[in-house]
Chains A and B, each alone.
Chain A
Amino acid sequence: MMAASWATIWISALGIAIGFSLGVPIAVASLRGRTWAAVYISFFRGVPMLVQLLLAYYALPFIGIDLPAIVAAVGTVGLCCAAYMGEILRGGFALVPKGGVEAARLLGLSPRQILLRIQLPIAVQAMRPAIINEAILIVKASSLISVVGILELTRSAQALASSTFEPLPSYALCGAIYLIINVSLSLLARGRLA
């Protein structure tokens, strides 16, 4: 179960990293009023993560895209996280003072530099609580990938429950580990904020 906890942690971390990197262009496109960004955000926030996972795992092979289960799972978690991160960062970008952007432009920074060096750090700082909240949601959502047979925390608890015939302590322990991960995440956020 210890090893499975690490699997949950790195799968979530990878999903959050993918979500964050894709969330930046989605937030920019969404601010510019691009239709694809609105559709993307609406789809990934409107469809249950479980259904997205089933779609990636069962349906993609039928249109010729055959991904290993772990890639499909982490990819789905990342794509879904990107929709939420896009929304969060969009709100963050709106808080960046216009003067700062103009000053950077006058100093000769390229639009790309302005985005990554000025706007993004300010947006992330402002939206830190929302970002940590999203990270916690992703740790919890990663439990769903047990359904496509990947050995992570929830799957290992299922295995323990069926081999010992003691589901109550197995799932209670599993829940406690999730709680420890998530409480540490929120403590980390609060510590940094202080």
Chain B
Amino acid sequence: MMQALQDSLVATAQGLPVTLFIWTASVALGMAGGFVVGALRFFSPWPLALPLSMAVEAVRGTPFLVQCFLLYFGGPFIGIDLAPLTAGLLALSVYGAAYFSEVFRAGFMAVPPGQLEVARMLGLSRFQAVLRIMLPVMALGVLPSLANLCVILIKETAVLSIITVPELTFRVQGVGTATFAFAETMLVLALVYWALAELTAWGARAAERRIERALAA
């Protein structure tokens, strides 16, 4: 039992950096992509907004696992032949972007139109009004949803073990299979994710307080 625990800690040390890399990269890519898609859906005319909305609904309405299978196993048939890590990162970023775009779009919608009009009357260009007035107002409103999505994305990274990305779940599960000590290894795995999720939520609350203070000042 001690051996299995030791092995799972080693596997954790190997898998955790991969998990953290995929997580941070997909949060960054997903947030950037989601912002662009969310803004396009909000600001552009319907011939562009409608197909984007349909794509977002398709991603949000299907399981992440099926999207992974589609990209990783189906991709090579249309010339997209990716390594597990790349496929996993791409799939998670697209999945994240769909959800992030909804958050940003809701954020844009929550800004009272009057504020933009006032900014325009005061002589700001449309771009300036969006940049200087709309974005700061929506930033605080969307923060809890963004933090929530970060926790969701770290949990989705576990799914990537199924397409053999050598992340946390894949590594620790490997120890379980090799030593038959499933109880200990799975418990270690659950505790590591639990700690990560709590840490993220705690960090988000701290960030929220800080931004609130900065805006109040």
Contacts and interface: CB of A to CB of B under 8 A. Distances in A.
B124 to A, nearest CB: 36
Interface string B57-93: 1100111111101100110011000000000000000
A52 B186 CA distance: 9
A61 B186 CA distance: 12
B157 to A, nearest CB: 8
Interface string A86-116: 0000000000000000000000000000000
Contacts, number: 124
A61 B183 CA distance: 8
A167 B77 contact: yes
Q: State which size class the interface on A falls in.
A: 35 or more
A54 to B, nearest CB: 5
Q: Which of B62, B181, B201 gathers the greatest number of chain A CB atoms within 10 Å?
A: B62
A67 interface: no
A154 B65 contact: yes
Given A48-B169, A50-B169, A179-B58, A154 B186 contact: no
B190 interface: yes
A171 B173 contact: no
Given A147-B162, A178-B66, A62 B189 contact: no
Interface in B83-125: none
Given A46-B198, A50-B169, A147-B162, A161 B156 contact: no
The binding surface of chain B is classed by DSSP as helix
B65 A179 contact: no
Contact of A178 (B62, B69, B77): B62
B162 A63 contact: no
Interface residues of B, number: 39
Given A46-B151, A140-B62, A175-B67, A167 B193 contact: no
A170 to B, nearest CB: 8
Interface string B117-148: 00000000000000000000000000000000
Interface of A: 42-43, 45-52, 54-55, 58-59, 61-63, 136, 140-144, 146-147, 154, 157-158, 161, 166-168, 170-172, 174-175, 178-179, 182-183
